[in-house]
A and B are shown apart, each in its own frame.
Chain A
Amino acid sequence: MSEADLDPGKRRLERDVVSPRFESGVEAGSWRLISLAWPHLTVAITAGDGHELGMRLLVDGYPGQAPAGQPWDLATDTPLPPSRWPTGGMTAFVFRREDWSIQNGNAPYLACDRRALAGHQWASQHPERAWNPNRSIEFYLEQIHHELSAATIPHP
């Protein structure tokens, strides 16, 4: 057994990705699991246009620490260039090409994400949208899926 296999965060995440709430999202077509290669979880989240946004989440310290996500090119297993980030709906508030995301690891500007949560008082100001150690991974995916509900995913 490797050191990673003993990580309590990894064991907790392995349980959570087979939970009813996670698998109900898979069943409903909201998202799907691509891979779990600790400490990274790669998922595809369905947008309003029916296309998927790949995301790679750094999940070390889970669930005590919020996931740190970024758009991900599932074909090349590399960061998704900003030209292919979601557009439309509320995505201009979330995937902020110009003034925040690119300077912060391509992170979504949401209270469920580690990079956005750091440096803001959102945990106390917006607890209903913020990550806390009682959350599970499906909370993060539900937040992104909701933000993508009116979005379009540009094709390469």
Chain B
Amino acid sequence: MRVHAYAAGNSAAITHPDADPATALVALISIDSGDQVFRVGDDTELDAELAIGELFGDTPGHVLVHHCRQVTVTVSYVGTAKTVEVHPSAHVKKVRKEAIAAFGLDPATASDLVLRLPGAADDLPPNSPIGAFVPKGSCALQLDLVHLVRAQG
């Protein structure tokens, strides 16, 4: 079975493509002092001593190893900034939704908004855990909320 493991400050997951379901999760990931292991999209801590087959069943596992219990995300949008607090395992799309709510934007205005790292040209992957973009040693992140320019004509 496959296990995709994200870590703080590394947006690219490491994939274990053909792990034995009886393998303990801890054997596949690197855990430093102070780190906890979470299922992506779920703020419940996983017991990394358990077998991956027990943790994930027949489906691929998605885990995040992270040092934060909460991440402070400062989101900039048209010259103003708002702060949202999220769990590091939260999907980027959840952060986007909370940021849109924090700015009080209506759905029509918000539908073309995406999150990007400051100055970046590419959108953050909506299904990645936000903690993967938070560098080791920090529990804060700055993001831009930007309108996509629709290709027309």
Contact = CB atoms under 8 A, between A and B. Distances in A.
Interface string B1-20: 01010100000110101000
Contacts of B152: 93
Contacts of B40: 24, 27
The B interface, classified by DSSP as helix, strand, loop or mixed, is loop
Interface hub of B60, B91, B148, B151 (most chain A Cβ within 10 A): B151
B15 A20 contact: yes
Given A120-B151, A129-B151, A23 B126 contact: no
Interface in B98-153: 107, 111-112, 114, 121-123, 125-128, 148-153
Contacts of B149: 126, 129
Contacts of B60: 18, 23, 26-27
Contacts of B15: 18-20
Interface in A18-70: 18-21, 23-28, 30
Contact of A120 (B4, B12, B150, B153): B153
Contacts of A19: 15
A21 B122 contact: no
A128 to B, nearest CB: 5
Nearest to A94: B150
A62 to B, nearest CB: 19
Contacts of A8: none
Given A27-B62, A28-B91, A110 B151 contact: yes
B110 to A, nearest CB: 9
A4 to B, nearest CB: 22
26 contacts: A18-B60, A19-B15, A20-B4, A20-B6, A20-B12, A20-B15, A20-B62, A21-B125, A23-B60, A23-B62, A24-B62, A24-B127, A25-B127, A27-B40, A27-B62, A28-B93, A90-B111, A93-B150, A93-B152, A116-B151, A128-B122, A128-B148, A142-B123, A142-B126, A146-B114, A146-B126
Interface of A: 18-21, 23-28, 30, 89-90, 93, 110-111, 116, 120, 122, 125-130, 138, 142, 145-146, 149-150
